[in-house]
Amino acid sequence: MDVVFVLYPGMTALDLVGPYEVLAPQPEVTARFAAATPDPVRCDAGLVLAPTTTFDEVDRADVLVVPGSGRWGEVLDADVVAPWLRRVHPTATWTTSVCSGSTLLASAGILDGRPATTHWAVRDELAALGAEVRTDRVVVDGSVITAAGVSAGIDMALTLVGLLWGDDRARFTQLLLEYDPRPPHRAGSPETAPPALVERGRHLMRRR
């Protein structure tokens, strides 16, 4: 199974690395990292990742994984990923996104009139791009799976493992990862965080 992880400048590393750690160990999976050029890609917090192939060299995939970015506006303006997604998405069995990666799917026309989720600070932007925004952590609609912010990429990938190989495989993968979140604070969503922190977060994301 050919799983293509999308790289681009300014992407958020965990959006990609979380799903990678879930999907890549599956014995059926061959993972590739595709970018516009063969040059290393610097993530929004500075981590550098190396592509293994380029968009020009990838004309099909079984699974696409599209990460988001803390600077999603700049990424949309660059318009590098969306044209390639328009071309490759029809060949994919599953097209997935994490966080604001959903705005790239929407920019490519993949989410027109479809339910999708994203990072809470990007919901209005996703709606403006034609998606029917949901607040769920993971949304499955046909062959498209979208995940909410950053850490939800692990949930998305475990959901996909269950769809591909069954719930027992997904449970076993979760066990091996010891994915049993127990955060020290109940502030992981705008519904549970103090209002002052939510506003501070919105301000920071708007500045980005």
**Choosing from 14, 76, 98, 99, which is the catalytic residue?**
99
On the 0-12 / 13-18 / 19+ scale of CB atoms within 10 A, 79 is: exposed
3-state secondary structure 146-175: EECCCCHHHHHHHHHHHHHHCHHHHHHHHH
Q: Rounded to the nearest 5 degrees, what angle is found at the Cα of 13, between the Cα atoms of 161 and 203? A: 115
Decide if 99 is catalytic: yes
Q: For residues 99-131, b (16+ Cβ closer than 10 Å) or e, as one string?
A: bbbbbbbbbbebbeebbbbbbbbbbebbeebeb
Question: Which residues form the catalytic set?
Answer: 99
